[in-house]
Amino acid sequence: MKRKAYYDLMEWKESRDRKPLLLQGARQVGKTYLIDEFAKKEYSEYFYFNFEKTPELIPLFTESLDPRIIIAKLGMFTGKKIGFKDTLIFFDEIQISPRTITSLKYFCEEAPEYHIIAAGSLLGVSVGKKSSFPVGKVNFMNLYPMSFLEFLNAYNDELLSELIREGKLDDVGEIFHNKLADKLKLYLYLGGMPEVLQSYLIHQDIAEARKIQKEIIKAYKNDFSKYADAYQAVKTAEVWDSIPYQLSKENKKFKFSDVSKNARSSTYGLTITWLKNAGLVYPAYNVSIPKIPLSGYSDKSKFKLYILDSGLLGAMLGLTSDIILKPDELFMEYNGAFIENFVASELISSGYEELFYWSSEGKAEVDFLIKSGNSIFPVEVKSGSSRNLKSLRVYEGLYKPDRVIRVSPRVFSREKEFINIPLYAVSSVKKIIKD
């Protein structure tokens, strides 16, 4: 299944300013599969080193970090000379070996001719630790669960995918709109974890897809105890388990008291940072005054937490597969939690590194604020067919944005400053605004 990140890897390979690449992303989002496919198609020689499966690799980095000494040792380990011409070296599960992470600095400075990619299931957590990290000496890339457009491509709907990607929503007629709405419901249930989609693509077994989702969730929980002390692991699991309930509330703002009766931010704040760095959650921070930079005007003590994948959210809530066949129930389920979570994940995967929402003293709330150029635009998510635009109109009256945006199951439309974007096209919001 071709990923958008594949083209980003091609740009990295051809860049004159190429540095060792750190590929970050949660477990099971397809990092190893992506690099393996890229290496075999784009390079003549490929050397794969997994520090979790092969811990004997770790001592090779404990002494000298001279790149040529390391390359010689790795060559002896594999029994094959490792050159640099048309060759890719992949360090997988690199978080197991902090010294290997440090070595990337010296590959950048002393041996830039080598093409090196490093990845790890909890690399974001490792990067945050106080270790000798090669600041400024690596390129970064993030990999997320497969987006809805990638899902369409996997199912050979490239034409529809291209129309959405190019923002040509006027060309999507009612028949295609209904087809895309049905595809979206299936995607919301399956989510974007590559193993889940690959299994369903081959076997068409919805029960097997749900089984894989539950196994992924179990693997995440195992990671809590694997990379944190016992006390912190319990707290992390408590926060993680509370997120579906928090999202199902009318007011989806995260409350520590919904985790545990006497919970405080001082107790659970570190767990949220851990989950964020692990790529498992996407926080959206409250902004009361929408000015650039949004991060500078956000209140980090007020936030919502979204899970990285709608399919995993459905598995945690025990949604049954028959909901896919019903007209609107999936969109409305849990106060629209799936739709808002879907929009959050689509915005993240389409390049928005942070999420923000706006509220005004309990009078109105806009689900997301997005920046395009030097402008800020309000985005309201509607899971049903309601035309209620109260919060958008309150925001519009206060701040006079050039565009106000509703994301809903309705067909694409625009009238003066108002734009309605179908749910399946939310990833193209920036292009639609510009056009």
Asked if omega into 293 is within 30° of 0 (cis), the reply is yes
Residue 269 CA to residue 272 CA, distance in Å, equals 5
Predicted local distance difference test score (pLDDT) of residue 22: 95
The DSSP H or E segment spanning 376 is strand 375-381
Domain that holds residue 171: 148-434
> Which residues lie closer than 8 Å to 296 by C-beta, 6 or more apart?
none
Phi, psi of 15 (to 5 degrees): -70, 135
pTM above 0.85, yes or no: yes
- Between the two ends of the chain, the Cα-to-Cα distance in Å is 30
Query: Residue 422 in contact with residue 169, Cβ under 8 Å?
Result: yes
Query: Residue 32 in contact with residue 92, Cβ under 8 Å?
Result: yes
Residue 31 CA to residue 26 CA, distance in Å, equals 9
Q: Is the dihedral of CA 190, 252, 346, 142 positive or negative?
A: negative
Given its phi and psi angles, is residue 131 left (phi above 0), alpha (psi -120 to 50 degrees) or beta? beta
Domain boundary among 110, 125, 142: 142
Count of Cβ atoms closer than 10 Å to residue 385 Cβ: 10
Q: Are residues 218 and 179 in the same domain?
A: yes
Q: Are residues 181 and 300 in the same domain?
A: yes
Q: Are residues 76 and 206 in the same domain?
A: no
Q: Are residues 154 and 104 in the same domain?
A: no
Predicted local distance difference test score (pLDDT) of residue 361: 76
Q: Are residues 121 and 184 in the same domain?
A: no
Q: Are residues 120 and 160 in the same domain?
A: no
Q: Are residues 135 and 163 in the same domain?
A: no
- Total number of domains constituting the chain: 2
Q: Are residues 183 and 127 in the same domain?
A: no
Residue 68 CA to residue 64 CA, distance in Å, equals 10
CA distances (Å), origin 396, targets 12, 371, 404: 41, 15, 7
Type of residue numbered 167: G
CA distances (Å), origin 425, targets 165, 280, 344, 360: 8, 23, 13, 28
Residue 78 CA to residue 4 CA, distance in Å, equals 32
Domain boundary among 83, 111, 142: 142
Q: Are residues 127 and 204 in the same domain?
A: no
pLDDT in tens, the chain (435 residues): 779 999 999 999 999 999 999 999 999 999 999 999 999 999 999 999 999 999 999 999 999 999 999 999 999 999 999 999 999 999 999 999 999 999 999 999 999 999 999 998 777 666 555 456 788 899 999 999 999 999 999 988 998 899 899 888 888 878 899 999 999 999 999 999 999 999 999 999 999 999 999 999 999 999 888 777 788 889 999 999 999 999 988 888 999 989 988 878 888 888 999 999 999 999 999 998 999 999 999 999 999 999 999 999 999 989 889 888 776 777 777 778 889 999 999 999 999 999 999 998 777 899 999 999 899 999 999 877 666 788 999 999 999 999 999 999 999 999 888 999 999 999 999 898 887
Q: Are residues 185 and 204 in the same domain?
A: yes
> Which residues lie closer than 8 Å to 290 by C-beta, 6 or more apart?
297, 358, 369, 376, 378, 395, 399
Type of residue numbered 135: V
> Which residues lie closer than 8 Å to 315 by C-beta, 6 or more apart?
210, 213, 214, 217
Q: Are residues 268 and 197 in the same domain?
A: yes
Q: Are residues 175 and 43 in the same domain?
A: no
CA–chain centroid gap for 269, Å, is 21
Pairing of strands 364-366, 45-50: unpaired
Residue 420 CA to residue 235 CA, distance in Å, equals 40
